[in-house]
Amino acid sequence: MRPLPNLRTARVLKQAFVLSAVILLFCQLVVPVATARDVRVALPELRPSVFTDDQGQPAGLFVEIIQDIAGKEGWHIIWVKGSLQESWARLAEGEIDLMMGVAETPERQVFYDFNREPVLSAWSQVYARPESGIHTILDLEGKRIAVLKGDINAIEFRDYAKKFDINATYLEKDTLDETFATTAAGETDAMVGFSLATEQSANKYGLAETTVMFNPSSLVFAVPEGTNKDILTAIDRYLAEGKANPSSPYSSSMQKWFGMKGTSEVIPAWILWGLAAVAGLAGLFVFMNAILRREVRRKTAELSKQNENLQAEVKSRKRAEEALVTKNRELGSAYEQLTATEEKLRGNYQEINAAYAQLTATEEELREKYEELSRSEQALTQAREKLVSLNALTFEDLRNAAFSLEGYLSLARQGPAGERVGTYLGKSEEILHSVRHAMEAAKKYQDLGINPPRWQNVKFVLLNALSHLDFSGISRVTELDELEIFADPLLEDVFFILMENVLHHGKGATEVRIRSREEAAKLTITIEDNGPGIPDAAKEKIFSRDYKATKGGSGLFLAREILSISGITIRETGVPGNGTRFEIVVPESRYRKGGQT
């Protein structure tokens, strides 16, 4: 009975496997053992290219690649942890030998050397919160953007933003996770990183990619300038072989870290089945690579369209800015003109104020003049009325005196000479004296009201009146200060009559007091003596014209008339037996103190 085909095939495969193991062991024995070389490699946090996993072990696409190369080349990898910026500084100082997953730029070529075969291609991408409203580069004006210290994306984005006149605030972080975390928390508005390298982290932190894409780059390895050429050569050789072989460790790492679907199915022992599986895996890699290229072309086309739109928007903004500048200049010119007009108006306003003040002063002066004129006109009218009355009275007195004089002279002619003739002649002399007195009074009345009232210093007028009298035997007390009253120019005659009355009728008087006191809406000037006084029945009669004529008084009638011209009154209020007391009452508008106006 023949053995089953499957058993026979299994036995053949087992023999082939043992033979292969023997050949491999032999090759290892015949190859001379080389001394392991230490290679210090930077280990920044650039997930998923280079990072430290949860167990504290190096991980990522570039870590797997360099570890595979080290195994083949006999290198001993020494990992040196640090931020991206610290790693660049260490590489420049020669403290480390190699950096992974970086982009080559003209500026970096001065200090570093790079391998020629890129590991993968990527572009810079801006990520933000979905609700942020950030879609285009113009939306980043005034925003806060998180970037990685020493990252090419941060450098290129600053230059990219300047082309659009975008002013943003940049917050530099030591790791990519920090840039994602601050953006997700709202501390920054957006972050910048490589599209392929940061897509997984963006999904983890709930960030979405925007349409802001720029800076297509190839990620490679870097060594200090002029050193470690053998390391770069080994890397380029490894990458070239890996890209040519879809089943290489390089291809497997690309599938693992960037979402390319592979297969974990156990391949049957038959060679045809194994080749088919490898071919299928290679086809899948080619298919994914085609999809990736198509996506890159689509993104590139979108980016180009967005750039065109942005260029149009920039031109529109520039035109609007130029229009704003022109308007600003026009507004500046208008403002200067307005300022000049305002200054002119301010000057005119000051002139108007000055003119108004002058007009007000003139108005006050005219009002005072008008009031004074009114008072003068009123006084003149009163004086005319009094003058008419006095003329009538004086004419009557003169006619009566002439009649009496004719009678006495006729009797003197008819009667015999002797004592009776002397009596008649004495009566005639008295009549002539009365006529002379009436003529003097008429003369004063004639002057009364001829000149308008004026302001007069009471103390000065009193002293002038006293200068015509002999007051050597009578003491006087004067308390008038700088009092002025508005009265007829004959005011001096008023005080003359009052002071003469003290001498002639105040028999036994040794003192006279002249004072003033201010009351509600009036001023009272008092003239008192310590003589016998005036009986109550005669207090008003002494101011009548008839009383003066019959008693040979002091002309108090004339004094009252002079004062009444300017609305001033006079009365006698003394107590009989305690002296006379004349009160001159001046209305409020007819007196002032200290030269007031």
Distance CA 498, CA 584 (A): 11
Chosen CATH of 453-593 out of 3.40.50.620, 1.10.3720.10, 3.30.565.10, 3.40.50.920 = 3.30.565.10
Place of tokens 């210093």: 457
More confidently predicted of 124 and 12 = 124
Contact 446, 493 (CB under 8 A): no
Please list, in sequence order, all residues whose beta carbon lies within 8 angstroms of the beta carbon of residue 170, skipping any fewer than 6 positions away: 144, 145, 147, 154, 158
Assigned token pair, 320? 């609007």
Contact 499, 471 (CB under 8 A): yes
Query: What pLDDT does residue 369 have?
Result: 78
Average pLDDT over every residue of 572-593: 94
Instruction: To the nearest 10°, report the CA torsion of 97, 99, 103, 109.
Output: -20
The domain spans of the chain are 1-33, 453-593
Point out which residues pair with 478 in neighbouring strands: 514
Contact 558, 491 (CB under 8 A): no
Average pLDDT over every residue of 497-517: 91
At 587, which helix (H) or strand (E)?
Answer: strand 581-587
Tell me the pLDDT tens digit for each residue of 573-583.
999 999 999 99
Burial of residue 480 (number of CB atoms within 10 Å: 0-12, 13-18, 19+): middle
Query: What pLDDT does residue 413 have?
Result: 66
Nearest by Cα to 197 from 125, 149, 260, 296:
125
Assigned token pair, 542? 């002494």
End-to-end CA distance of the chain: 159
Distance CA 224, CA 56 (A): 27
Contact 454, 492 (CB under 8 A): no
Given a cut of 70, is residue 440 above it in pLDDT? no
Three-state DSSP class for 161?
Answer: helix
Assigned token pair, 23? 């050949």
Given a cut of 50, is residue 33 above it in pLDDT? no
Distance CA 67, CA 85 (A): 23
Residue 559: pLDDT band by 50, 70, 90 thresholds? Answer: very high
Please list, in sequence order, all residues whose beta carbon lies within 8 angstroms of the beta carbon of residue 9, skipping any fewer than 6 positions away: 269, 270
Tell me the pLDDT tens digit for each residue of 184-216.
999 999 999 887 656 777 888 899 889 888 888
Tell me the pLDDT tens digit for each residue of 254-284.
888 876 533 333 333 443 444 455 446 545 7
What size, in residues, is the chain?
597
Share of the chain above pLDDT 90, in %: 42
Distance CA 154, CA 191 (A): 9
Nearest by Cα to 509 from 477, 478, 532:
532
Query: What pLDDT does residue 361 have?
Result: 86
Distance CA 252, CA 501 (A): 146
Q: Would the pTM count as exceeding 0.85?
A: no
Given a cut of 50, is residue 536 above it in pLDDT? yes
At 99, which helix (H) or strand (E)?
Answer: strand 99-103
Tell me the pLDDT tens digit for each residue of 278-315.
446 545 755 776 787 788 788 888 888 888 888 888 88
- Round the average pLDDT of the chain to a whole number and report it: 82
Query: What pLDDT does residue 583 have?
Result: 97
**Residue 314: how many CB atoms within 10 A of its CB?**
15
In order of 321, 352, 413, 434, 590, the CA distances from 363 in angstroms are 60, 16, 72, 51, 20
Query: What pLDDT does residue 389 have?
Result: 61
More confidently predicted of 127 and 441 = 127
Strand pairing of 475-479 and 208-224?
A: unpaired
Assigned token pair, 94? 């020669």
HSE-up of residue 313 (Cα within 13 Å, Cβ side): 14
Given a cut of 90, is residue 423 above it in pLDDT? no
Nearest by Cα to 246 from 212, 283, 277, 274:
283
Burial annotation 67-90 (CB, 10 A radius, 16+ → b, else e): bbbbeebebebeebebbbebbbeb
